[in-house]
Structure 1
Amino acid sequence: MSLSDQDHDLVTAELGREPTPAEAALFENLWSEHCAYRSSRPLLSAFESEGEDVVVGPGDDAAVVALPDGDTYITLGIESHNHPSYVDPFDGAATGVGGIVRDTLSMGAYPIALADSLYFGDFDREHSRYLFEGVVEGISHYGNCIGVPTVTGSVAFHDDYEGNPLVNVSCIGLIDDPDRLVTAEAQEPGSKLVLVGNATGRDGLGGASFASEDLAEDAETEDRPAVQVGDPYTEKLLIEANEALIDEGLIESARDLGAAGLGGATSELVAKGSLGAHIELERVHQREPNMNALEILLAESQERMAYEVKPDNVDRVAEIADRYDLGCSVIGEVTEGNYVCEFDGETVVDAPAEFLGDGAPFNDLDSVEPSQPERDLPETDLADAFEAVVGSPNTASKRWVYRQYDHEVQVRTATPPGDDAAILAIREARAERSSADGSSSAEQSSADHSSGQSPREDGESRETGTGLAYSAGADPNWTDTAPYDGARAVALENATNVAAKGATPLTAVNCLNGGNPEKPDVYGGFKGIVDGLADMCAELDVPVVGGNVSLYNDSNAGPIPPTPTLALVGTKDGYDAPPAALSGEGELLVVNDRALASDTAPGLGGSEYLAQHGGSDGFPTLPDDRAAFVETLADVADHEATRAVHDASHGGLAVTLAEMVSESAGADVAIEGDASEAELLFHEQPGRVVIETADADAVAAAFEGVAPVERVGAADDSGTLSLSVGDTALDYDASEISDLRSVIERELE
């Protein structure tokens, strides 16, 4: 890529001269879609991002939100690494994890959990499986090595991701003392800019601009230099060093080096403080000889942090970096002037920092609203359809994926992967941060971190009593069928996942993925997912406090479906939660299913049933009183008579019931209604749950006036799902269901 004629004219007018080669490259990357959100930012005002618990909202490396005790904060961020993961699935996915973890560090937080939402082409394609295996390996390698558990996420397969997979990774961090909070806003002139971490090489050059263009047919070979190479062991040292620096109050502001490398991080840091910088690029510690100014400025080498440090603290920062075997360079200082970079005495960049960061004009793009699908349903045998839907890679067990992730490291995960949402036990450490010899407790506990303990727990720790529920994902079948309604459904489903574990939704971040926005139909679909996600989050009173936009996910195979990944967290008292699996002891209820409670014919649009058998239909109408449903569900899930709760969405009741059965617990269920048998069993209206309870009357009373409750059967100890739908009876024992749901493991092992 290069600066467009229009952008070149704007830069020339602002500078009063032709830009230098380094300036032109820096503007090209910082004004790219990936960094400047030129096509999406006009739409993002639809999201409500304020709330009484929001401490730091959109615009920083990660958002910061207060937990109920008021003295404990969490950070929440999300990133995409889509194009790199196509070119090099292992390194592309691994460095996506590294980047979102460093976003967490730059806020003064310790990373405590990861979620990954992954989207690939048809599972039957060899290339899709190659990408899938490489991405999962990259995520597991990096996350496991740095000791941050991957606890939740999603995996989806859809033909339109064949030429452009999506890798969306989110991270939660913990700040157990408000005084430890750091932001990416430079504080005062005269402070030093210090680079800590790995040496700078030539990897990742032009990564921001690469992420802002369609993938070419030869991308896997031609764009390999734009993909970064990660080193998780250095990242682990950086995590510990960052803790030590925060412990001793040595950091005034921080920014991780991601898109556009050193130039992006340092210019954004000072621009947020309405300040400038003077940087001497030759001072940057380098791992390759003869690097030029542009390479040093824009390389996206991993495991690096830029810190603002008071002059008196620079030597101590260097000592801590050395203790953790990290490179450390004092590369310049914060000023009141322009953003200036010199290389061997020659000025290579001299521009206003705010113009670099915010000067890119927005794109005024045409859009076409997507058309609604007509109703054209297939005729199928119900038993064949059940086996096809339950055995689809989209709805099948993802155990092959999450068993590769260490979800037990840090000993916080109370509800592990495989459920509707993960539950994390939030613990604080008391303020024993210094020993008699003045060394920080983070330094002292390095060995504990390596063995999986959480930071600063070498001293006495305190339970907060707060459980944090975490859900992430989207369904491309939904948003491909109906971008607006599908995105609303994505938000409602993630909120239902959290509430099903007894938690009240607190906040969310999103990763908005779309194709080439210059195509009106693609941009229309993208606008639909933005508005749909924003409207439902507002309705549920869930502030969207940050996120990421990834456009130009387009290739020779065509654009991806508009994909609004949402990562949502909620809070509850305590860490216990009802499982999704049946106990075999209670009555079974379906809550909030419009098809069972009325004569409404639910839409089958966006369902796995139609994905397997062809046809089309409108997307299901969402239930009424959605906010009240989520609130009530959170209370009912924690009721002492509740035995199990499971969200009903992907694959409909067929998949939900199949997932709840085990060798020790079965169910006898009858589903009746005015809709067809296929509609009753396979429609995917979100905002529904199946509840196993020892007190069905209490559940019905709780939902009275909020959501309909239908009694559909009972759990037992048979290990068999006996299911009657209208006039059709289906019987499958747990081993048969397990075999159907093990398609991914069978194909990849």
Structure 2
Amino acid sequence: MSLADSDRELVVEELDRDPTPAEAALFENLWSEHCAYRSSRPLLSAFDSEGEQVVVGPGDDAAVVALDDGTYITIGIESHNHPSYVDPFDGAATGVGGIVRDTLSMGAYPIALADSLYFGEFDADHSRYLLEGVVEGISHYGNCIGVPTVAGSVDFHPDYEGNPLVNVACVGLTNEERLVTAEAQEPGNKLVLVGNGTGRDGLGGASFASEDLAEDAETEDRPAVQVGDPYTEKLLIEANEQLVDEGLIESARDLGAAGLGGASSELVAKGGLGAEIELERVHQREPNMNALEILLAESQERMCYEVEPENVDRVAEIAERFDLGCSVIGEVTEGNYTCTFEGETVVDVDAYFLGEGAPMNDLPSEVPEQPETDLPEVDLEDVFDAVVSSPNTASKRWVYRQYDHEVGVRTSVGPGDDAAIIAVREAEQGLAISSGAAPNWTDVAPYEGARAVALENATNVAAKGATPLAAVDCLNGGNPEKPDVYGGFTGIVDGLAEMCESLSAPVVGGNVSLYNDSVAGPIPPTPTLALVGTKDGYDAPPLSVTADADDGATLLLVGDLGLEGEARLGGSEYLAQFDGSDRFPALPDDPAALIETLAAVADDDATRAVHDVSHGGLAVALAEMVSDDAGLEVSLPVSESADETVAAAALFHEQPGRALIQTDSPDAVREAFDGVAPVVELGSATDDGRLEVTVGNRTIATDAAAIRERRETIERELE
């Protein structure tokens, strides 16, 4: 850890002296890209974060959104990218632990997790090693703490080979009376540290997350990776619940990036206050720790609470009951943020300057251009086989079956569907959750691809009969000092912001992770979006993604078949598999009306099944609807004289905002979407478990067993 010369000059000017070693290290971490958003903050004003449902927006540990007058949810998202490369198990596990503690600090109880994971090419040994370690870390930690992992995504792209991404979102439940924020309230209140003992793990983690990964990162940077203890986290969850129930907490912050120094200084800075902290009072699990180590270690499972003096003893009693450490480390003041160690002052700075004084970067950017059209000549059946069996479109059951998604008895619809649904009985509502990005899309066209990512997540939610409520984002990019990389990052910010505003889904919080660059090069710009929507009632809906063979209901496609004008296949798995290129497809003109209508139709009693059409295009969506009990006979209105390229465009282009609907009332569906989106009749279901798709003069025929064999790519290779 070392403070940059230009930053040191600003610190010296403000303090009118040289910083102490502890101060220099604290500034270096809190002014890092990871904490201060020096390259991204100038762009983030593009997001609309307001709405009548928004109780607490960006800037706290998690956002708070109202479901009704008395019931709130919290939602937050974090990245643990670099740690998961160095140590995939602990890196991913502590990512889960951190976002759960962000939830606790708002006075909420965690009720659901969603993880979005990105790795290099699946057939590379190192990618599989990282995948297995990350999934094991997430499942171990989430299962042990009893929070269900219900949604997420897994994507493979060669540009993640040297830098995987692990993005984790958490939803919590609270209400107006229980709500806590990270803003210190009153001078004289005590600062109390509750949880695990402080060790030397995770030192410099914030700095480590703000630099490119070096070739030797797996060995040299291991000390910067935290080590988690989910059993202590579970105790902390329950202790936090008791503290909140008894009204003992005035404000709270979890100890994450920059450890105690980050949490305590940010807590008092938000309240325009200061603190006096005695570092030797911190309960420790390693001997002979010095001031800097105590201040900046990122040991897990720790919370910093502001507590009124008369409540300190009761907080200590509750901590002891749950076998947690508890230290009264100082108090809130009206002065500077000061830390002493064995009688010596090691930090004495203005808390606001420490948190907000970092200068913003003004970086050059280059607007990326979309590629020219270069479509491969292929056989339609070969494309079908390759796309349906691709790890990107294949079943992710191997991943999510390792997660406990039933614990907490709130899961109405679990992973494997378009979106999960969590029962919020307190508000008599179902909360739909969708999370993910699409690196193929944003690699080809950052701005257009990010717009598509937002629409895709909203379509997933609408397919379950829910309408968007709010979203949080995790914006992942490479080294922003490279103009082309920063141009791509700017594109995903603007695209995501524009589409979320169009959908009336305020972006209420998020995370930025830059410098995801390695000797292998930068990652694709990756805007993970975790979007929640609501619907009346919380029972599992009768509709599903699989077809219903009874009575031969009609199968409709809502959206563009790709036959009008110039078909665009850019960003498709088809072109990724066969080394082609094309421009990204245009998006629907009125996405908000599309989502609202789709949600209403999905909730209609005449609707048998709804399935979103996205990655892999219509071909994959149709294959996913077939089961042993129900097949599909489908005919696409393609001229018999059309060539293979036109047929491929109809089956494999990936314009988002489309859905397959099986219905007893096709005319009502057409009427609902009149003026909103085209509706094309494709065929009907059968009871033989076969899929037959006729495209012009070509027919692709297969059955559920063969499709299942193709789609079990990940299971087959990893088990």
| 1:539 and 2:537 are equivalent in the alignment | no
User: What does residue 467 of structure 1 align with?
Assistant: 430
User: What does residue 592 of structure 1 align with?
Assistant: 559
1:694-715 residue CA offsets vs partner (Å, 9 max, x unmatched) = 1111111111111111001001
Aligned-partner residue type, residue 552 of structure 1: Y
Inter-partner Cα distance in structure 1 for 2:665 and 2:132 = 44
Question: Any stretches of 5+ residues in structure 2 without a counterpart?
Answer: 640-644
| 1:19 and 2:41 are equivalent in the alignment | no
Contact 1:651 1:682 in 2 (8 A): yes
Contact 1:144 1:405 in 2 (8 A): yes
Deviation at 1:594, TM superposition (A): 4.8
User: What does residue 615 of structure 2 align with?
Assistant: 650
The residue matched to 1:595 in structure 2 has which SS?
Answer: coil
User: What does residue 380 of structure 1 align with?
Assistant: 378
Aligned-partner residue type, residue 665 of structure 1: A
| 1:634 and 2:599 are equivalent in the alignment | yes
The residue matched to 2:562 in structure 1 has which SS?
Answer: helix
- Where do 1:101-250 residues align within 5 Å? 101-175=100-174, 177-250=175-248
Deviation at 1:615, TM superposition (A): 1.2
Inter-partner Cα distance in structure 2 for 1:173 and 1:602 = 43
Contact 1:499 1:637 in 2 (8 A): yes
Inter-partner Cα distance in structure 1 for 2:416 and 2:338 = 50
Aligned-partner residue type, residue 104 of structure 1: T
Inter-partner Cα distance in structure 2 for 1:394 and 1:628 = 29
Inter-partner Cα distance in structure 2 for 1:311 and 1:603 = 65
| 1:612 and 2:577 are equivalent in the alignment | yes
Deviation at 1:427, TM superposition (A): 2.4
1:255-311 residue CA offsets vs partner (Å, 9 max, x unmatched) = 000000000000000000000000000000000000000000000000000000000
For 2:285, which of 269, 273, 287 is the aligned residue?
287
| 1:6 and 2:45 are equivalent in the alignment | no
For 2:683, which of 705, 713, 722 is the aligned residue?
713
| 1:87 and 2:86 are equivalent in the alignment | yes
Inter-partner Cα distance in structure 2 for 1:600 and 1:567 = 33
Contact 1:200 1:287 in 2 (8 A): yes
Aligned-partner residue type, residue 747 of structure 1: E
User: What does residue 35 of structure 2 align with?
Assistant: 35
User: What does residue 454 of structure 1 align with?
Assistant: none
Q: Which moved more, 1:34-43 or 1:584-593?
A: 584-593
Aligned-partner residue type, residue 236 of structure 1: K
| 1:357 and 2:355 are equivalent in the alignment | yes
| 1:425 and 2:423 are equivalent in the alignment | yes
Contact 1:601 1:679 in 2 (8 A): no
The residue matched to 1:516 in structure 2 has which SS?
Answer: coil
The residue matched to 1:600 in structure 2 has which SS?
Answer: coil
- Residues paired across the two proteins, number: 710
Contact 2:410 2:424 in 1 (8 A): yes
Contact 2:554 2:666 in 1 (8 A): yes
Contact 1:121 1:163 in 2 (8 A): yes
Inter-partner Cα distance in structure 2 for 1:157 and 1:727 = 34
Aligned-partner residue type, residue 267 of structure 1: S
User: What does residue 572 of structure 1 align with?
Assistant: 535
1:661-694 residue CA offsets vs partner (Å, 9 max, x unmatched) = 0000100001124770010000000000000111
Inter-partner Cα distance in structure 2 for 1:748 and 1:326 = 39
Give identity over the alignment, percent.
Answer: 78
1:444-474 residue CA offsets vs partner (Å, 9 max, x unmatched) = xxxxxxxxxxxxxxxxxxxx32000000000
User: What does residue 253 of structure 2 align with?
Assistant: 255
Inter-partner Cα distance in structure 2 for 1:676 and 1:492 = 25
For 1:504, which of 467, 480, 484 is the aligned residue?
467
| 1:722 and 2:689 are equivalent in the alignment | no
User: What does residue 437 of structure 1 align with?
Assistant: none
Inter-partner Cα distance in structure 2 for 1:644 and 1:2 = 57
TM-score by length of 1: 0.94
Aligned-partner residue type, residue 207 of structure 1: G
The residue matched to 2:272 in structure 1 has which SS?
Answer: coil
Contact 1:507 1:545 in 2 (8 A): yes
Contact 2:265 2:355 in 1 (8 A): yes
Contact 1:672 1:680 in 2 (8 A): no
User: What does residue 56 of structure 1 align with?
Assistant: 56
1:222-269 residue CA offsets vs partner (Å, 9 max, x unmatched) = 000000000000000000000000000000000000000000000000
The residue matched to 1:107 in structure 2 has which SS?
Answer: coil
Inter-partner Cα distance in structure 1 for 2:270 and 2:612 = 42
User: What does residue 453 of structure 1 align with?
Assistant: none
Deviation at 1:18, TM superposition (A): 0.2
Contact 2:34 2:209 in 1 (8 A): yes
Aligned-partner residue type, residue 78 of structure 1: I
Contact 2:466 2:535 in 1 (8 A): yes
Inter-partner Cα distance in structure 2 for 1:656 and 1:137 = 29
For 1:665, which of 622, 630, 642 is the aligned residue?
630
Aligned-partner residue type, residue 745 of structure 1: E
Inter-partner Cα distance in structure 2 for 1:375 and 1:322 = 66
Contact 1:413 1:423 in 2 (8 A): yes
Contact 2:561 2:650 in 1 (8 A): no
| 1:739 and 2:709 are equivalent in the alignment | yes
1:355-392 residue CA offsets vs partner (Å, 9 max, x unmatched) = 00000000010000001100000000000100000000
TM-score by length of 2: 0.98
Inter-partner Cα distance in structure 2 for 1:241 and 1:275 = 27
Aligned-partner residue type, residue 495 of structure 2: G
Inter-partner Cα distance in structure 2 for 1:605 and 1:255 = 44
Contact 2:12 2:19 in 1 (8 A): yes
Contact 1:190 1:335 in 2 (8 A): yes
Inter-partner Cα distance in structure 2 for 1:292 and 1:327 = 19
Aligned-partner residue type, residue 74 of structure 1: I
Deviation at 1:19, TM superposition (A): 0.2
User: In angstroms, what is the RMSD of aligned CA positions?
Assistant: 0.7
Inter-partner Cα distance in structure 2 for 1:550 and 1:212 = 8
Inter-partner Cα distance in structure 1 for 2:387 and 2:506 = 34
Deviation at 1:602, TM superposition (A): 2.3
Question: Any stretches of 5+ residues in structure 1 without a counterpart?
Answer: 429-463
Inter-partner Cα distance in structure 1 for 2:638 and 2:167 = 39
Deviation at 1:725, TM superposition (A): 1.3
User: What does residue 300 of structure 2 align with?
Assistant: 302
Inter-partner Cα distance in structure 2 for 1:501 and 1:662 = 19
Inter-partner Cα distance in structure 1 for 2:696 and 2:656 = 22
Deviation at 1:625, TM superposition (A): 1.4
For 2:488, which of 509, 521, 525 is the aligned residue?
525
Inter-partner Cα distance in structure 1 for 2:684 and 2:588 = 25
Contact 1:49 1:545 in 2 (8 A): yes
The residue matched to 2:421 in structure 1 has which SS?
Answer: strand
Contact 1:119 1:157 in 2 (8 A): yes
User: What does residue 642 of structure 2 align with?
Assistant: none
Inter-partner Cα distance in structure 2 for 1:648 and 1:196 = 47
Deviation at 1:70, TM superposition (A): 1.8
User: What does residue 443 of structure 1 align with?
Assistant: none
For 1:486, which of 443, 446, 449 is the aligned residue?
449
User: What does residue 438 of structure 1 align with?
Assistant: none
